[in-house]
Structure 1
Amino acid sequence: MQQENAGIDEALVALLALLWQARQDAPEKPWSLAKLAKRAGVQMSTLLRQLNALSSAGLAVVATAENGGGSALLSAAGAELCASIFAAPPAP
């Protein structure tokens, strides 16, 4: 059971890294759900579950359309968290 939780955490961290990359590439411009799923290498249903968890935690903003499309980007809190997690260590 412990290994399953570690896998979920790793998947969420990987998704946060993708959303962080998106923010670095184009701040305030969301990535489509299709692009995120492809880059993450997961099915759309898996991506949506992960995004729901991040959204519930206030770390991501997700917009979905009735036609199945949508987009996601980091919230301000998510951007702060990612800056602290993925920031390069200070030079000695």
Structure 2
Amino acid sequence: MHKEDKEEGIDAALIALLALLWEARREAPEKPWSLAKLAKRAGIQMSTLLRQLNALSSAGLVTVATAESGGGSASLSTAGAELCASVFAPPAAD
């Protein structure tokens, strides 16, 4: 694995997924996006999405809810929202 493939120890794909979840939270804070919508927006297969969400969930950044039917949804946890607010926030005006 190359150092340039990582950004401060976080895979670029995970950062992209956090950015999508941050967008979802800003659009509708009370309504998590479905796993299908996230996979489509991210342009990745569901298996890849689930692996990435599992990693983010293990880190306490994402909450994933799955249904017996196979569907589900994901949203940022409080810690994930705080991280995204600091990472993706617009630069402060001087």
Whole-angstrom CA distance in 2 between matches of 1:5 and 1:89: 25
Unpaired segments ≥5 residues, structure 2: none
Find 1:84's aligned residue among 83, 86, 91. Answer: 86
| 1:28 CA drift (Å) | 2.5
Find 1:62's aligned residue among 51, 61, 64. Answer: 64
Unpaired segments ≥5 residues, structure 1: none
Given the alignment of the two structures, is residue 2 of structure 1 paired with residue 10 of structure 2, yes or no? no
Whole-angstrom CA distance in 2 between matches of 1:4 and 1:45: 25
Given the alignment of the two structures, is residue 27 of structure 1 paired with residue 29 of structure 2, yes or no? yes
The runs of at least 4 consecutive aligned structure 1 residues that moved more than 6 Å come to: none
Amino acid at match of 1:78: G
**Structure 1 pair 51–4 and aligned structure 2 pair: CA distance change class (3 A):** farther
Could you say what the CA RMSD is over the residues aligned between the two structures, in angstroms? Answer: 1.7
Counterpart in the other structure of 2:53: 51
Find 1:17's aligned residue among 16, 19, 26. Answer: 19
| Counterpart secondary structure, 2:11 | helix
What's the CA shift string for 1:35-85, capped at 9, x where partnerless?
000000000000000000000000000011121100000000000000000
Greater per-residue helix proportion: 1
Whole-angstrom CA distance in 2 between matches of 1:86 and 1:75: 16
TM-score (norm 1): 0.93
Whole-angstrom CA distance in 2 between matches of 1:37 and 1:4: 25
TM-score (norm 2): 0.91
